[in-house]
Amino acid sequence: DQPGYRYRLHDALLTKFAENAELYGEPGVVAYSPPQSASLGEAGSVDMVLTFRNTHGWVNEGLAGDIYAEFARVLKPGGVLGVVQHRAADGTDPAETAKNGYVSEQAIITMAEAAGLVLEARSDVNANPNDSTEHEFGVWTLPPSMRACRDIEEDEVKAECREKYQAIGESDRMTLRFRKPQG
């Protein structure tokens, strides 16, 4: 289900860019699937890198440090890295919390700073204080996945399950902006 999901998102994004060329211009989109394809382009060639809810997977695969280093390498001086990630509590072990889809802000900041990037801003635009982060199937328990409800066959029980997790909403997420120093 994941590869299909990824392809659908990719195709939808390219369609959005094409239909709104006056707004987006001609953005470059690079297939990035480390370690098989681990380069985002030439060093210092990119204005901005955005990553949405990926860091936990990279932590689980032992690739997070290398990937954040690649972000820094490919960014132009003054370039921006934007990160949205399911948020674990600070002080938690990312190797443990990432299994459930969560990584702490402090862990992300540490990874980015180790790569030479500087935290410039943070926002709570994606915050959800209703997310305890303690769910049977981690972030995938919550909408839109609601994995805990998928295999329930009885309609009423399934509806109650969905209602429970819809009341919580999507995961609590951090939104961070880093910048590559000019010099």
Count the Cβ atoms, other than its own, within 10 Å of residue 55.
27
Average of pLDDT values for 130-154?
Answer: 95
Q: Within a domain: residue 150?
A: no
The answer to whether position 163 is within a domain reads: no
Residue 106: give the domain boundaries. 19-131+170-179
Phi, psi (degrees; rounded to nearest 5) at 32: -130, 110
Q: What percent of the chain has pLDDT over 90?
A: 82
The answer to which of 11-20, 35-44, 93-102, 126-135 has the lowest mean pLDDT is 35-44
Buried b (16+ CB within 10 A) or exposed e, 145-181: bbebbeeeeeeeeeeebbeebeebebbbbbbbbbbbe
Would 87 be classed as within a structural domain? yes
The answer to whether position 140 is within a domain reads no
pLDDT at residue 88, rounded to an integer: 98
pLDDT tens, position by position, 156-176: 999 999 999 999 999 999 999
Residues facing residue 52 across a β-bridge: 84
Has residue 145 got a pLDDT over 70? Answer: yes
Q: Mark residue 131 as left, alpha or beta (left: phi above 0; alpha: psi -120 to 50; beta: remaining).
A: beta
